[in-house]
Structure formats: structure tokens, C-alpha cells
Amino acid sequence: METPARVDIAQRIDNSRLGSFQLTVFFLCGLCLFMDGFDTQAIAYVAPTIVREWNIQRSALGVVLSAAPFGVLIGSLLFSMIADRIGRRPVLIGVTLYYAILTLITARAASVNQLLAIRFIAGIGLGGIMPNAVSLVGEYSPRRARVPVMMVVGNCFSAGAAIGGFVAAQLIQSYGWRSVFYFGGSIPLAISLVMLFALPESLHFLAVREKSLHKIRRWLQRIDPSAPAGESTRYVLTEKAHRGVPWVQLFHEGRALGTVLIWLLNFMNLLNLYFLTLWLPTVVADIGYSAPVAVRVGATLQLAGAIGAFLQGWLIHRFGFVPVLATGFGLATLNIALIGYPGISLALLVVVVSIAGLGVVGGQSGVNAFSATFYPTDIRSTGVGAGLGVGRVGAIVGPYLGGQLIALHWTNQQLFLASAVPALISAIVMAALHWVVKPKAVAAPLVGQASAYPN
């Protein structure tokens, strides 16, 4: 009797060449992240116009700016665990459709309270995008290209926030602030419909759960036509499914300290990122620059972050996560402190904002990629989502704290000196991961212990 063929899913994907099937997955996940970045940042771009149109104090928007991150916190924790149970595909499609509809509803807000409620509810859906898109991309990437691919696709979030700033500036000028949300809701609505027909499920997930073998067979053939595809073929993964609550597994098998440090890193960097992202346009407008200029300075932070993520992806592939990200956060510390320097020229402001964006915004893509390589398949979305979930607490605290400090009449110099502290802590925490993660190849497989250094 013929012995059934045994196919290792991870090995086949690791040794494959990037083809149109995988590129389609990366493209769709990148589009999701692009619009996630646009919609997350949209409220900051329209804030100066809303302050003027509704005749409210800028500090009144502090709670509104924190509403979506608070929703994202809930969504990232909730949908990450759901995805590890039912799959990345249905969750990613569902949350994209969900937040698209809520973003369209945002355009109808007529008061601060309505804006607050709608942004919170929309944020719940936004929270499911990043952990599932990052996990899906990592699981379809060959080993040799995994980190660069994850960095590039993860960087689409920053690209969406950056390009969105220039788009928003034109939309606001031509059609008013509500048009930003009509645009931001209609695109992901279309994306969700395309994904319904074109996005596959994670082969890692299906193999671990031993589900839908016919789909594994069909999709693996698209990646590697030489893979055995008989009815009796067994599809396996060189890691076992963990039993019990996924959250508990984050602290097992030597992952406890790494998990805690990843959580602290996410908290500090997202606190800083969201403070800078959501308050920078308003602060620049308050200095005396026009709303379009203020929006473009805010977009510069994101654009520099997008460029920084590409650059860091290349550097991480050569030198490892720890030295590259720790250096980036260190440079960001110095330049954030300079943003509020009294009498700073617009040209110098753009320079220091750009370097801050390279480190903080670009660095978050690296943190996400590091998290995804740290956890095994069946708790990967939970691991990435948990880190981002804790980080979202920082994302809530940052904008809210900014509003409170502004209400206390802190100067811009004091505000940005305070904002430099989380960047410094991020650099220290990233350096501390040197003693947690043993030096291995940076492009290590997604199973087992992740690496921070190349050989």
C-alpha cells in the first residue's frame, strides 16, 4: 500500500519563489493597512477645521482624538483572539467592511459627542486590521524575504496616513472636512468586496487546525506547483497547536519576558506616535500657520515614517531588529525635543519632524514585524494583537494627555520635551531585548524563537 505524501506547509512556503498568488495577498493586506492609516489619521487632519467651524476649544478634541484608539484597543484584543480561532480571512474582511461603514457615518456627525461615539465604534473595527494583516503576510512570505516583505506591507499604514494628509488637504479645501470621511469609507468598502473573492486563508492556520484540506491543496499549488496534491496527501506544520487560552500561551515556553517587553515597547511608542500624529497639525496651526500647511506638516511625519520603515526594513535584514530600532528611537528622542523649540523656522521644523517620523512612525512597523516573528502560528494574531492592544492604551493616553497639558497652558517646548521621554524609554526597552532574544538569523522562520540579530 502506497504511503500518503507528507507536505510541510512552512517548508514549502519558505522555499518558494514569490509569485502572483502571494503578491495578491500582500497587495490586498497592504491596501487594508493603507486605508487603516488614512482613516486613523483622518480625524487629526480635519481637527483644525472642526475647531474653527464648530467654534470650540482645541483641548475639547482631546477626548475625541482618544476615542478611536480606545476602540482600537478593544478591537485588537477581541478580533485577534477570534482570528486565532476562526481564521485571518473572515476577520480581516469583516472588520474592513465594518469600519468602512462607520467611517461613512462619521461624515454625518454634527456635534463633539456624536463624533466621539462614532469614532470609538469605528475604532473597534480598525483594531482588527493590523494584527491579522501582518500575520497573514508573514505566513505567506518565504523565509528569505519575510522581514522585508512584512516591513514593506506594514509600512502601508504609514503611507496611508502620509498620502492621506495631502489628499485630505485638497478635499478639505475643495469640499469641506466631511468629504475626507466619505472618501475614507468608500475605498475600504470596495476593498472588502474584492477580498471576499480574492483573499485566501492562511495555510499555516488551516494546517494547524486541520481544516479545509481541499483549500490547502488548491492554494499551495498556486505557490508551489510541484507540491504533492493527492487526495491522501497530509499537510503538516512543524509546530503543534497549543491548548488552552491563547493569552496564557504568550507567557509559556520562555516567552514571558519578551512578551512583557514587547508590550512596554508598544505602549511607549504608540503613546508617542499618537500624540505626535493627532496633535501636531493642531499645534502647528496654533503657531500661526494656515490649516493646509499644518496638515502637510502632519503628513510629513507620516511620510518620513513610511520612508523610514523601508530604510529600516533593509537595515534590519542586514543588522537585526535590536540595533536598528534602538538607534532609530534614540534619534527620534533628540528630534522630538527640538520640535517645540521657540522660534523654530518652518524649514527646520520639517527636518526635525521628519527625523522624528523616521524613528517613531517607521519604528512601529519594525516592532510589528518583530512581534510577528516572536510567536508561533496558532497564537501569532493573539501575540501581535495583544502587543498592539497594550500599545493602544498608550495611543489613548497620548492624545488625552496632550489635551490635558494644553488645557494647563503648557508651552509647545514643554509639550515636546515631555514627548521625547517615551521615545527614550522605547530605545532602552529595544536595547534590553538583546538579552531576551538569542542571536539568530534575522529572517528566522515564523515558528520557534524569533531573532533580533543575524549570524
Kindly list the distances between the CA atom of residue 293 and the CA atoms of 72, 279, 334, 346, 349, in Å, as whole numbers in the listed order: 29, 14, 24, 10, 12
The Cα–Cα gap between 383 and 70 comes to 19
Model confidence pLDDT, tens digit, residues 23-39 = 999 999 999 999 998 99
The Cα–Cα gap between 136 and 117 comes to 31
Average pLDDT of every residue of the chain: 83
**Of 91, 120, 86, which Cα lies nearest the Cα of 103?**
120
The percentage of residues in the chain with a pLDDT greater than 70, rounded to a whole number, is 88
What class, spelled out in words, does domain 6-435 have in CATH? mainly alpha
Indicate the range of 58-62, 161-165, 366-370 predicted with least confidence.
Answer: 58-62
pLDDT(440) > 50? no
**Of 180, 190, 193, 191, which Cα lies nearest the Cα of 104?**
180
pLDDT(377) > 70? no
- pLDDT band per the 50, 70, 90 thresholds, residue 439: very low
Let me know: does 141 contact 14? Beta carbons within 8 Å. no
- pLDDT band per the 50, 70, 90 thresholds, residue 355: very high
Model confidence pLDDT, tens digit, residues 174-218 = 999 999 999 999 999 999 999 999 999 988 888 877 666 778 788
The Cα–Cα gap between 188 and 19 comes to 25
pTM value > 0.85: no
Q: Give per-residue burial for 343-357: e unless 16+ CB within 10 Å, then b.
A: ebeeeebebbbbbbb
The Cα–Cα gap between 427 and 323 comes to 10
**Of 133, 151, 280, which Cα lies nearest the Cα of 192?**
133
**Of 217, 177, 443, which Cα lies nearest the Cα of 454?**
443
Cα angle 98, 81, 72; round to 5 = 45
Mean pLDDT throughout 241-248? 55
Q: Which amino acid is at 233?
A: T
Residue 161: predicted pLDDT: 82
Residue 336: predicted pLDDT: 94
Model confidence pLDDT, tens digit, residues 119-129 = 999 999 998 99
**Which three-class secondary structure string do you get for the chain?**
CCCCCEEEHHHHHHCCCCCHHHHHHHHHHHHHHHHHHHHHHHHHHHHHHHHHHHCCCHHHHHHHHHHHHHHHHHHHHHHHHHHHHHCHHHHHHHHHHHHHHHHHHHCCCCCHHHHHHHHHHHHHHHCCHHHHHHHHHHHCCCHHHHHHHHHHHHCHHHHHHHHHHHHHHHHHHHHCCHHHHHHHHHHHHHHHHHHHHHCCCCHHHHHHHCCCHHHHHHHHHHHCCCCCCCCCCEEECCCCCCCCCHHHHCCCCCCHHHHHHHHHHHHHHHHHHHHHHHHHHHHHHHHCCCHHHHHHHHHHHHHHHHHHHHHHHHHHHHHCHHHHHHHHHHHHHHHHHHHCCCCCCHHHHHHHHHHHHHHHHHHHHHHHHHHHHHCCHHHHHHHHHHHHHHHHHHHHHHHHHHHHHHHCCCCHHHHHHHHHHHHHHHHHHHHHHHHCCCCCCCCCCCCCCCCCCCC
